[in-house]
Structure 1
Amino acid sequence: MTRIVSPLEDFGIFGPDSVTWKVYRYPTSMTVGFTRTALTEMFDPLVVASVAGTGSLRQRADDRYDRTLEYAGALVFADSGTAVGAADTLMRIHSRIRGVDPVTGQTYDPNDPAGQLWIHLTQWQSVLHVYEQFGPGPLSEEEERQYWAECAIAAQFQTIDPADVPCSRAEMRAYYRRVRPSLVVSETAIEHAQLILDGAKLDLSQLPAHLSLLNPLVQWLLRRATIATLPRWIRAAIGSRQGPILDVVVTAVLRPLMRIASRRPQLLAQMLEKSSPRAYPVIAPAILDIAPTTPETVSVQNAFRRAGRPLPREQYMTLVSDSGSLTT
């Protein structure tokens, strides 16, 4: 039975008029987009070291993916109070995780701004990439400028300096070129990338019985679609030989399916409820166009001010200052 979706307090930081909502509300983001995000992140040695150190992906992959989608959904779709709470909670959890990466010998800190920037940009670029490949296609020039401006706004929920966030597709490519030499194809990275790819599933139990028989085909399609978005070096790392012909076929098949899904928000919400029960309450109101109690957007600064909390970067700078060291 579908849970009742309660209205949120406000539209949060972006709202329905934003390009962020336009891109993230499309079903590509909650399927291929977040799988591609999580998989790509694993090739930063310090990020994968912190994930491997907790054992969360090996032991409870479904729960970790659900919590990640819940967090991302809270920042993009939820009301301002929920977004601040999610950011604060994640900072507290990350503050308890420390260790040394056995591959590079470097100390990892999940709250480190450089690692946070990698995770943030990988998500925003991946979600846009799959929207363009399997969704309506490229944004207009004006929409793209707005999207990257909103990406910088969202970065304030983390320890990132917003000035470090790319303002365009060209700057995003330059960022990837800059960090590429520091990425590592380790056994741990490959293992975790495979775990993410193997765990990418969509619950189709809400579909009519005759359509749910297509479940194995849909799961195969989502896996192949994720691979179709990956750069060649990551494909080689995970041992995929998928070539351009299959990429084209998968794209041609998935694009109309995503278009159909986008026109059936109730069904999309039901599948989200089954696949990601924790993320459902924060994402479903946006999918179903349920108006909040107060139909307004709130700036990040005002959201934290209302909660009586400093911004995450301010919290981080205070912590590292008190500890006598600074990692940027």
Structure 2
Amino acid sequence: MSGTRAAEGPRIPAEGLFGPASVTWRVHADPAMLLGGLRALLLQALHPLAMAGVSQHSAFREDPWGRLDRTAAFIGAVTYGTGEEAREAVDRVRRVHRHVRGTDPATGRAYRADDPALLVWVHACEVGSFLDVVRRAGLPLTAAEADAYLREQSAVARLVGVPAGTDVPDSATALRRYFAEVRPELCVTPAAREAVRFAFLPPLHGSALLAVPAWSGLVGLAFAMLPAWARRMYGLPGWWITDRTAGLEARALRAAAFRLPRSWWEGPYLVAARERLGLPAEALGANRAGV
């Protein structure tokens, strides 16, 4: 059986982890994924050890756009890439994780990025945010398809280092149970507050300053789409947007994105996968349902 193998991690098929029939392809092709990614970052910051690792080892202050781009590239590679591309992306993440360790100044607890519990936290925040946002923005998915997406994505968690003996939420029910169980460990540290302020007002210069209101509005919408318990933890004053309003705004943004050229919201790995498999540009056109 052909496949791509490295010294670490499970085997990846030569053709890649997923394919056009997967729910993962449909979810990750959706233009609402940007909003989901921002929600994931805001949610991840609530774990003090995960946030300490980002604060002490990430270059997000100096290069926030680079960090977002690298995250998007990882998701694109493991979703649409060949087995070799997916393995390279996974190995890169695992190499970085080996060197990320330290002590959280807010709690005095030691952390390391390859701790299975932190890997599960980051994974759960990402897949939970992607799934919640794209569905609320209008991507039609049944409950069974949502569960299938979480099952598919559990393979990515294993690849980045979650061992077989550690539970990974692989259904909507399991995901809700996981967040309920982990909530006592969460808090808003000074590093998390700094990250939120930075997310709302990243460094922009020159003519890019004109984009500040639009970007801040996008981050604000991502914040509004957090679970209610997470919004309460942050306690941002004057936050009046309702869940229903947030969903309507997300639908409007998604509909607007579909009016733009595909190159504005489709990633290079998706485009390459369609070309590799000989699929038409409208292969994921069903995503427009619900617009």
Q: TM-score scaled to structure 2, two decimals?
A: 0.79
Question: Separation in 2 of the partners of 1:240 and 1:151?
Answer: 35
Q: Tell me if 1:232 matches 2:228.
A: yes
SS at 2:148 equivalent: helix
Match of 2:197 in 1: 194
By relative contact order (CA 8 Å, sep 6+), the higher-ranking structure is 1
Q: Relative to 1, partners in 2 of residues 1:79 and 1:62: Cα closer, same or farther, differing over 3 Å?
A: same
Q: Is the 8 A contact 2:199 2:219 kept in 1?
A: no
1:14 matched to 2:11? no
- Asked whether the 8 Å contact 1:151–1:165 carries over to 2, the reply is no
- Aligned match of 2:163: 161
Q: Given the alignment, which residue of 260, 268, 272 partners 1:281?
A: 268
| SS of corresponding position for 1:99 | strand
2:104 aligned to 84, 101, 106, which one?
101
Provide structure 1 residue ranges, at least 5 long, that are not aligned to the other structure: 1-8, 206-212, 273-279, 294-328
Query: 2:263 is matched with which residue?
Result: 269
Alignment correspondent of 1:28: 32
Pair 1:54–1:220, CA change in 2 (3 A): closer
Residues 55 and 171 of structure 1: CA distance in aligned 2, closer, same or farther (over 3 Å)? closer
Which aligned pairs between 1:1-328 and structure 2 lie closer than 5 A? Answer: 11-29=15-33, 31-137=34-140, 139-161=141-163, 164-199=167-202, 218-236=214-232, 237=234, 239-245=236-242, 247-262=243-258, 267-270=261-264, 280-286=267-273, 289-292=274-277
Kindly state the Cα deviation for residue 13 of structure 1 after the two structures are TM-superposed: 0.7
The whole-number CA distance in structure 2 between the counterparts of 1:185 and 1:110 is 19
Task: Supply the distance in 1 between the matched residues of 2:271 and 2:201 (Cα, whole angstroms).
Answer: 25
Secondary structure, counterpart of 1:290 in structure 2: helix
Structure 2 contact 104–111 (Cα < 8 Å) conserved: yes
AA at the equivalent of 1:270:
W
Count of aligned residue pairs for this structure pair = 261
Structure 1 residues 290, 156: closer, same or farther in 2, change over 3 A? same
Asked if the contact 1:34–1:123 (Cα under 8 Å) also holds between the matched residues in 2, the reply is yes
- Identify if the C-alpha distance between structure 1 residues 55 and 10 changes in structure 2 by more than 3 Å, giving closer, same or farther: closer
Question: Does the C-alpha gap of structure 1 residues 92 and 259 become closer, same or farther in structure 2, counting only changes over 3 Å?
Answer: same
* Cα offset, 1:73, TM superposition: 1.8
Query: Structure 1 residue 238: deviation in Å?
Result: 5.7
Query: 2:152 and 2:200 mapped to 1: Cα distance?
Result: 28
The alignment partner of 1:164 has SS state of coil
Q: Using structure 1 for the length normalisation, give the TM-score.
A: 0.71
Contact 1:27 1:268 in 2 (8 A): no
Secondary structure at the aligned position of 2:60 is classed as helix
| Alpha-carbon separation, structure 2, partners of 1:197 and 1:165 | 31
Give percent identity, aligned residues only: 30
| Counterpart amino acid of residue 130 in structure 1 | V
